[in-house]
Amino acid sequence: MNSWLLSYEGFDPASEGLREALCTLGNGRFATRGATPDGELRTAGTYAAGCYDRLDSTIAGRTVTNEDLVNLPDWLPLTFAAPGSYWFRPERADLLEYRQKLDMRHGVLSRALRWRDESGRITAVRQRRLVSMADPRLAALETTFTAENWSGPLRVRAALDGRVTNSGVARYRDLRGDHLTCHDTGDQNGLTWLTAATRSSHITVALASRIDTATPAREMIREGDRISTEHVLDLAQSEPATLTKTVALATSRDSASYDARSAAIRAVRLAPRFDVQVAQHTAAWERLWQRARVDVDGPELSQIVHLHIFHLLQTLSPHTADLDVGVPARGLHGEAYRGHVFWDELFVLPWLNLRFPETSLGLLRYRYRRLPEARAAARDAGLSGAMFPWQSASDGREQTQTLHLNPASGRWLPDASHLQRHIGLAIAYNVWQYHLATGSLPPWCAELLIDIARFFASLAVLDPTSGRYEIHGVMGPDEYHERYPDASSPGLANNAYTNIMTVWLLLRARDTLDLLPELAASAQEQARWDDITRRMRVDFHDGVISQFTGYADLLELDWARYRGVRRLDRALEADGDDVNRYKAAKQADTLMLCYLLTSDELVGILNRLGYPVEPSLIPRMVGYYLDRTSHGSTLSAVVHAWVLSRSDRARSWQFFTEALFSDIKDVQHGTTAEGIHLGAMAGTIDLLERCYLGLEIHPDGLHLNPLLPDRLGTLSMPIRFRGSQLFIDADHRQARINGVPRPTFVTGRQGEPTMAATGDLGRRIAQHRMRLGLTLEQVAERADISPGYLQYLEEQPGTPTAETMCLLAGALETTVDDLLGGGIDQPPGRGRAKAAPTLASLDRDECLKLIEPGGIGRVAFNGSHGPTVLPVNYQLHHGSIVFRTATGGPMDQDLRTGLEGVEIKVGFEVDRIDEAQREGWSVLVQGPAHHIPPDELPEVTGSRVTPWAGGERHLYIRITPHQITGRRIHHL
């Protein structure tokens, strides 16, 4: 099993939706579902981050407004037909083979099929698709056809299709989804384009498409909302023929753009050919994986870990940082939850902080930009500070639906989930986590945290009778409880999660003011905050924290009757009952406290509030609520795996596995097809890191407190903590930071000095290791560091500590200076070649291949002041060496004979010395040098040769090789 691949055999209409979601390709700016480019059984979806539109619909006699992440025009359609046959549709074709493969390492989705038409002709089709991580405007689909037992014309039709609506979620089909209007299509210099606008947010969306194939388009079919081109490929039996469709997507939300249409056309015109696109795209993915890798043992687990990180980065990549968007709960992978932004970022940002802090910051800035809206919402509610919406989309106004459909009963029901005010706590928690992970707290982040603190402080009202602060009219994370049984209005009192996290937040607000006193809150306000942190109300019953005031009076549910039912709210309502009446939770609520706070923190807060609890409260509470939770949200398994990790490791692993399988196995039966569960995907990876590896970030530094589950043999990952690149690895014996066992890492004054090595450090280590004939394990043992870290250093640029470098140099019997490439500014070749070197002659073709990429060479000639050698930047142009030099300079003077047709013979040498590998080669070209005549210049200037010394060098010289020789030195 290859843990980087997700493979599917056969065409299975029933599982297409799931495949489409899991095979979505995206780059953090936009994503396209893995729908087939052909056929009718497809739920096509292309979604651009932040592209929302609002429409009114009439439901149950009421007008409701919904804001959707808009399904954009479809760039994928491409189908084909053999002579006299139908257009290919997988659902009704005679398929001899059908395979689909998602390469998660390189972000390429491929499909291979063989199809027999009505006349018995067999055609093989291979497709590769990407949504470029290198150029986030581009996507491409390459199709290669091979006629296996026939020859003749194959028609191929490629389209841009604007007849697209939001209709990917059955539950929403009574709501309007026709967000696109004002379609237009056209062509320009062989490219086709399509534009449309969103109906009420007036975002212009443009697609432009370029088809690269041997034969030009035979026909263009231009309709108002769709444009297609038809191509005829003359297939010769067994000879593959390829057609590539490259597409650019632009919107009027883009920066650095004049208008969407011209931006799309320009981007697609300038797009390189497909193989170059693939190379750039895969290189971009390699760079992401260097930062994002998390290594676990076992191929199946690795595969899911890769899948989760892959989809996380496809939704939230470095390209996202600048887009003014939040964390869409279902990725850019489908229409469930309408692309809205909930509190799920709580499960996402902690992982991003340690790898892509600029992306985290962009996501926090999405909240900050909506602070005025949140302040207005608080003001309207008669409160202070900032009240963020439970569901957010474009402008930060509340987007939670007021009615939702219960598919089990078919009834539309009032929805009060906007009362989940705890969303603000999640944002503030993330601000603080960002600060702890990066060591930085931009003033605007601090302002965000303080305004949220003000809001929660204003929600808390002192009850004179009990002398305690209370928070009324809210909901906790458990969406089964939005009101008291039979109450006329929604809202609960003293949700423990909200109350205790408010205390935590007010304590962090105090820390924030210590860091940034200019944010001055009045002494009176601070005194009130302090008072709340000492007198907030928390209810208890049966020796556990009560989820909210009055929870103890609820009924026990007949769990046997509803065994296996995840959405009890729907099942009970369909049975004429109401889940609000029962001690039953959709997901972790009170237990969220144990997820976000260490037991010391939680017990500390409760003691501060005057509740004399002991740490033994926690396992009691875990058991109590676990018995009363139906796990109707994929987030629930993540939280429970976490809270059980120390007390019941087997059960923790069970929940972890369930969270891992949430999407790949679609545990909620059909919901993944409507979009991945991004919070659970990220939560599982975060859990590996912060829970099982026990990587805790405290103000004083990083603490490692691992407890690997039995099923996890080893776990390792690079992280970036407060500016230091670290590699953490652990097994059941110990955990190590940069290969050395240690429980804490502190940066700053007490921090350990790290060494900046050149990117060749890894190659030098590997070379010395090979020289000594040692394995990774042997060198690691000699240096007393972990083999995992050594391997990491060999593969990726790292910043080892001075101590580690000394240990490594000793183990490799060399010096630190040598390992660090200290001789980099000195003449090359100071070290000797490897032991037992051999010198091999290279033939002409090998020589040409070596010098083909161009670069720096040296021209040798008999100059007026004696033998002369000068470096030049050269390119190989039609087999000749071409370079630029200054008119009137030494080369111009000395290489002119003044006689027509008489040239001077020169030498031209290119060499390479690989210091790390201790080998090299040199190529010598001999031949006449010409000044390139003016009529040939335009062609040569197109080769983009630049002068080595820069500046104005207008003289182009060509050396025509008469003789090419070369040698390579390597060892056996």
Active site residues: 479
Nearer residue to ligand BGC within complex by CB, 436 or 626: 626
Residues in contact with ligand BGC, total (CB under 6 A)?
12
Q: How many CB atoms lie within 10 A of CB 850?
A: 17
Q: How many CB atoms lie within 10 A of CB 313?
A: 27
The least distance separating ligand BGC from the CB of residue 511, rounded to whole angstroms, comes to 27
The least distance separating ligand BGC from the CB of residue 595, rounded to whole angstroms, comes to 12
Q: Does 587 bind ligand BGC (CB under 6 A)?
A: yes
Q: Which of 88, 337, 455, 562 binds ligand BGC (CB under 6 A)?
A: 337
Q: To 5 degrees, how large is the angle CA 699–CA 702–CA 708?
A: 135
Nearer residue to ligand BGC within complex by CB, 480 or 792: 480
**Per-residue interface string for the shown chain with ligand BGC, residues 623-662, x marking contact by CB under 6 A:** ----------x-x---------------------------
**Per-residue interface string for the shown chain with ligand BGC, residues 433-472, x marking contact by CB under 6 A:** ----------------------------------------
The least distance separating ligand BGC from the CB of residue 425, rounded to whole angstroms, comes to 13
Q: Which of 343, 429, 642, 908 binds ligand BGC (CB under 6 A)?
A: 343
The least distance separating ligand BGC from the CB of residue 672, rounded to whole angstroms, comes to 12
Q: Which of 321, 329, 419, 807 binds ligand BGC (CB under 6 A)?
A: 329
The pair of structure tokens assigned to 481 is 């409880």
- Counting every residue, how long is the chain? 972
Q: Which of 38, 117, 479, 589 binds ligand BGC (CB under 6 A)?
A: 479
What whole-number distance in Å separates Cα of residue 456 and Cα of residue 889? 75
**Are 331 and 46 spatial neighbours (Cβ–Cβ below 8 Å)?**
no
What whole-number distance in Å separates Cα of residue 287 and Cα of residue 277? 15
Look up tokens 């014309």; give the residue. 153
10 Å CB burial of residue 817 (0-12, 13-18, 19+) is exposed
What whole-number distance in Å separates Cα of residue 896 and Cα of residue 928? 11
Q: Does 335 bind ligand BGC (CB under 6 A)?
A: no
Stretch in the footprint of ligand BGC (CB under 6 A) among 108-116, 337-345, 501-509, 843-851? 337-345
Nearer residue to ligand BGC within complex by CB, 570 or 586: 586
Q: Does 739 bind ligand BGC (CB under 6 A)?
A: no
The least distance separating ligand BGC from the CB of residue 586, rounded to whole angstroms, comes to 6
The least distance separating ligand BGC from the CB of residue 696, rounded to whole angstroms, comes to 24
* Exposure b/e, 688-716, CB count within 10 A at least 16 = b: bbbbbbbbebeeebbebebbbbeebebbb
Nearer residue to ligand BGC within complex by CB, 43 or 587: 587
Stretch in the footprint of ligand BGC (CB under 6 A) among 57-65, 139-147, 201-209, 340-348? 340-348
- The DSSP result for 504-569, as a single string, is HHHHHHHHHHHH-GGG---HHHHHHHHHHHHHB---EETTEE-SSTTGGGSBPP-TTTTTT-S-HH
Stretch in the footprint of ligand BGC (CB under 6 A) among 156-164, 339-347, 378-386, 954-962? 339-347
The least distance separating ligand BGC from the CB of residue 330, rounded to whole angstroms, comes to 7
The least distance separating ligand BGC from the CB of residue 638, rounded to whole angstroms, comes to 11
Relative to beta strand 108-116, strand 46-48 is unpaired
807's CB contacts (< 8 A; 6+ apart) are: 783, 784, 785
The least distance separating ligand BGC from the CB of residue 635, rounded to whole angstroms, comes to 5
Footprint of ligand BGC on residues 668-687 (CB under 6 A)?
679
23's CB contacts (< 8 A; 6+ apart) are: 6, 33, 34, 100, 102, 109
The least distance separating ligand BGC from the CB of residue 473, rounded to whole angstroms, comes to 19
Footprint of ligand BGC on residues 676-735 (CB under 6 A)?
679
Nearer residue to ligand BGC within complex by CB, 331 or 800: 331
Up-side HSE of residue 879: CA atoms within 13 Å toward CB?
Answer: 8
Of 310, 193, 210, the C-alpha closest to 262 is 193
Nearer residue to ligand BGC within complex by CB, 228 or 587: 587
Relative to beta strand 724-730, strand 540-541 is unpaired
The least distance separating ligand BGC from the CB of residue 241, rounded to whole angstroms, comes to 45
Footprint of ligand BGC on residues 187-216 (CB under 6 A)?
none
Nearer residue to ligand BGC within complex by CB, 497 or 792: 497
Main-chain dihedrals φ then ψ at residue 476, nearest 5 degrees: -90, -175
Q: Does 477 bind ligand BGC (CB under 6 A)?
A: yes
Nearer residue to ligand BGC within complex by CB, 67 or 479: 479
Q: To 5 degrees, how large is the angle CA 355–CA 303–CA 141?
A: 85
Stretch in the footprint of ligand BGC (CB under 6 A) among 14-22, 251-259, 335-343, 366-374? 335-343
The least distance separating ligand BGC from the CB of residue 323, rounded to whole angstroms, comes to 20
What whole-number distance in Å separates Cα of residue 389 and Cα of residue 397? 6
Nearer residue to ligand BGC within complex by CB, 404 or 586: 586
What whole-number distance in Å separates Cα of residue 736 and Cα of residue 234? 61
What whole-number distance in Å separates Cα of residue 310 and Cα of residue 486? 46
The least distance separating ligand BGC from the CB of residue 910, rounded to whole angstroms, comes to 58
| DSSP one-letter code for 492 | B
Q: Which of 47, 98, 145, 342 binds ligand BGC (CB under 6 A)?
A: 342
Nearer residue to ligand BGC within complex by CB, 192 or 587: 587
439's CB contacts (< 8 A; 6+ apart) are: 722, 723, 747, 748
Nearer residue to ligand BGC within complex by CB, 582 or 883: 582
Amino acid at 121: R
Q: Does 344 bind ligand BGC (CB under 6 A)?
A: yes
The pair of structure tokens assigned to 964 is 């090419």
Phi-psi map region of 60: left, alpha, beta (phi>0 left; psi -120 to 50 alpha) = left
Nearer residue to ligand BGC within complex by CB, 250 or 680: 680
Question: Which strand (E) or helix (H) includes residue 909?
Answer: strand 904-914
Nearer residue to ligand BGC within complex by CB, 423 or 602: 423
Q: Does 331 bind ligand BGC (CB under 6 A)?
A: no
Footprint of ligand BGC on residues 761-790 (CB under 6 A)?
none
SS (H, E, C) 47-92: EECCCEEEEEEEECCEEEEEEEECCCCECCCEEEECCCCCCCCHHH
Q: How far is CA 139 from CA 260, 262, 273, 278, in A?
A: 16, 17, 12, 10
Q: To 5 degrees, how large is the angle CA 838–CA 842–CA 846?
A: 130
Determine the straight-line distance between the first and last CA of the chain, rounded to whole angstroms. 34
Stretch in the footprint of ligand BGC (CB under 6 A) among 338-346, 759-767, 789-797, 800-808? 338-346
Q: Does 569 bind ligand BGC (CB under 6 A)?
A: no
Contacting positions for ligand BGC (CB under 6 A): 329, 337, 342-344, 477, 479, 586-587, 633, 635, 679
